[in-house]
Amino acid sequence: MQPAGLTALLGLLLAGGAVLGTYALLVPLVALQAVTAAGWFRLNGMWPARQGIALGFAGALAADAALLVSDRSPAAILGTLGVWVLLSLVLQLRSHADPDERMYGLIATVAAAALAIVAGGFLAADADAVTVGAIAVAVAVVARALPLPTPASVVVALLAAAGAGIAVGSMTAFGTSGALLGAGAAVCALIGHRVAAYDYPSRFVHFTAGVALPLAAAAPAVYVLGRALA
């Protein structure tokens, strides 16, 4: 429940930042991206991996800057992803580790950078969509942490997210279609939550990947559904 509470808090901060404006949203977003990069490396058993974490986080910051310069065009995310895949490849080619370890490090670095950069979808998305989606994810993750059988908790989490989407959507331009946005964001968040559970015994993973991956995974859905339902 503690990591779920932190995810919910971060989701509420994202939602509040979206209401206040772009630069207010940027503060919790950067925190989300930093924890995403660090959490992914620890989830893969690679710790410390300072270069990879720094590269992933730097990619996220570059994507955020490109989004701001380009008036929040999603093309900035795709462009940054391409550049950072190339940088990750160059970094691993310069490594003196054995080939298997270099390949493993390359995959982890690219994935960490991609997740941190894709989380920038919150910055590209419509502000109302971010508000609805982030609150829906917050509700879904807390509901998923309740002491229920797994199938029941998943259903409860999705229903709770859809309900939160309707409630918040009614205060925005989305109206009842906020239920679809909330449920879609929650599906991605629960997938991220499940991925973070791979290294279940690790308390550090709980408080990094377990906190960040649900929100990072939901960012693309918030952007796409926000545009489709607006």
Q: In the structure, what pLDDT confidence band is assigned to residue 206 with cuts at 50, 70 and 90? A: confident
Share of the chain above pLDDT 90, in %: 58
Q: Which two tokens stand for residue 115?
A: 């997740």
CA atoms of 178 and 163, how far apart (whole Å): 9
Instruction: Report, as an integer, the average pLDDT of 132-136.
Output: 95
CA atoms of 157 and 140, how far apart (whole Å): 4
CA atoms of 158 and 74, how far apart (whole Å): 27
At residue 174, does pLDDT exceed 80? Answer: yes
At residue 64, does pLDDT exceed 90? Answer: yes
At residue 120, does pLDDT exceed 80? Answer: yes
Q: Which two tokens stand for residue 63?
A: 């994507």
**Positive or negative torsion for Cα 165, 14, 35, 106:** positive
**Positive or negative torsion for Cα 208, 31, 114, 129:** positive
The predicted structure's pLDDT at residue 196: 85
Name which residue leads in pLDDT, 181 or 200: 181
Residue pLDDT, tens place only, 72-118: 888 889 999 999 888 888 877 777 767 777 788 788 888 889 999 99
CB count within 10 Å of CB 147 equals 6
Query: How confident is the prediction for the chain on average, in pLDDT?
Result: 89
At residue 202, does pLDDT exceed 80? Answer: no
CA-wise closest residue to 187 among 213, 161, 169: 161
Element (H, E) at 149: none
Which residues, other chains included, contact 119 with Cβ-Cβ below 8 Å and sequence gap of 6+? Answer: 29, 32, 33, 36, 60, 212, 215, 216, 219
Q: In the structure, what pLDDT confidence band is assigned to residue 173 with cuts at 50, 70 and 90? A: confident
Instruction: Report, as an integer, the average pLDDT of 7-33.
Output: 94
At residue 216, does pLDDT exceed 80? Answer: yes
CA-wise closest residue to 31 among 48, 51, 6: 6
Q: Which two tokens stand for residue 199?
A: 């290294």
The predicted structure's pLDDT at residue 199: 64
CB hemisphere CA count around 214 (13 angstroms): 36
Domain count, the chain: 1
Q: Is 165 in contact with 138 (CB distance < 8 Å)? A: no
The predicted structure's pLDDT at residue 200: 61
Q: In the structure, what pLDDT confidence band is assigned to residue 42 with cuts at 50, 70 and 90? A: confident
Residue ranges making up the domain that contains 105: 2-229
CA atoms of 57 and 34, how far apart (whole Å): 6
pTM: 0.91
CA atoms of 187 and 185, how far apart (whole Å): 6
At residue 48, does pLDDT exceed 70? Answer: no
At residue 157, does pLDDT exceed 90? Answer: yes
